[in-house]
Structure 1
């Protein structure tokens, strides 16, 4: 099996070795120390300080998205949702289900989010902006500097789903005044699925303590209090937290810059190598973590099945209107230039 998927990914050898170990009992000083070390490394990797607070959830990214909205906002807020695909629509669904006051900036497939699109929402009393910085269903990478400046001008809290940006593209919470960062284990970290993290700025922590959340399991205040001793209020996914500690130490030793450079090199090699094939790539900004490729004919689903069934190669299919014309190729995880070339040869044969 070879995974060119955005998550789960082709895991690194060190993660597989950690994954193979017995999961230990966790209400111990040793586990607390590991969690406190992990927390410092995580904050460093997203570009924030110890003043920020982290939430470790045994949940998928969607669970973390909902928990963040529940804890950070209430019916007194007015929210703006950037919605350019499946995951932007998920933020819409969360706002609707929780009866938030919200409006949507809709990005159609093929459109690029621009400054002009934000103008109608200036000075309209919004208190928060929710965005999937890399809309994974289409591949578009939004301009974080532009969104940050919009939030600064209008005094909005900025909530970023960075699930497929973190460790794929440069990201810095403090530089861009990001108030909540949402991350999942199975994307750029290349770990097992099941762990999500939310990192809150100091001012967002203050807002969380002013809000009232009707939830036992997803009450962030309980997680913040427990994290002071390196624990979570409920049983965490202990094994994945050991994987996380190991991966963050590996990346810290290597440096994030080198890690990002490797992802970018793999991405650039793939995109350069497919230029002469009868496929196209969208012209809006793209993440280094993934390349969406568009076929002239409705053959995307057939390609997905062919690669999977004949060669044990997995790429990301796409749902909805694009399911027959678009597949997504990831450039993260334990992949090499040689793996790229192998996949491209299979693409050539299929086409």
Structure 2
């Protein structure tokens, strides 16, 4: 049995046959699938060889309008598997994408798409599942299978095999993933790992990077997902390394924020006059009071600040920088007169960035009274 994977609704405004399309149901790989059985369809799809014993026991699996296949340029599939027609269609018809759909509504067509002769047992079911998922894409229905990532890989392979040359299969499958929610990675380990596996298999760099970043953020959840075993050992190793590095950086950042850089800006690392040191301490006290009032307590009790706190602090410090920055001075300019003698603000900022490995801002100085 193959479990349905929640996914897209129908293309082109076609009414869905089941209201419960996103619930988990099963498909045995051969019998009729009600989600792809259109009463007004005229193309029967059989997942076995013509004249085989299965024809007397299983019947066709799908019934769809032939115009679906022609409209999506599945001409190679029709040329390869169309067994014959009944009714009044012209003989030796040449299927051409773009013709009026009325030309493909007369008569009834039969497609016989058996697994390869060498396939046995589970391999037969996998082949039929791949065929079924191709028609699911045609009709805008959910995929089935034990692994979403493997189903997506199989689907793109089928699209490349069964469609004409003047189509963009990658763009079409990405649209399908977007429309069906498979591309919604946030908070979904299954979608994230499936996309990661899909992108890795076909070497889609941007998609891989996006999915990888989500997987790192959900590392504790993704390692428990059944999809995790489908990604390569190399990617698993990279995920573990990136997660460890992220954890260490967040721990260090949270520690620094909890005291507002007390150690980093201590006399050991930054030489300030007593008056300047007093000003720095006063500003740190102001920040502590503000965030205690804002968050209820400060610093947070956890070793790593919650994501919501980090995001809010990032936003507000960015706004504070925008309020205080001197946009008339850039890092490439000569040292301003205000920084000569006494405390050189520019040198202090540059020394801080160099010691901690930060990239300096284009405008590194604040407005000074």
Bigger helix share: 2
User: Per the shorter chain, which TM-score range?
Assistant: under 0.3
Question: What TM-score, normalized to structure 1?
Answer: 0.24
Bigger strand share: 1
Question: What TM-score, normalized to structure 2?
Answer: 0.23
Greater C-alpha Rg: 2
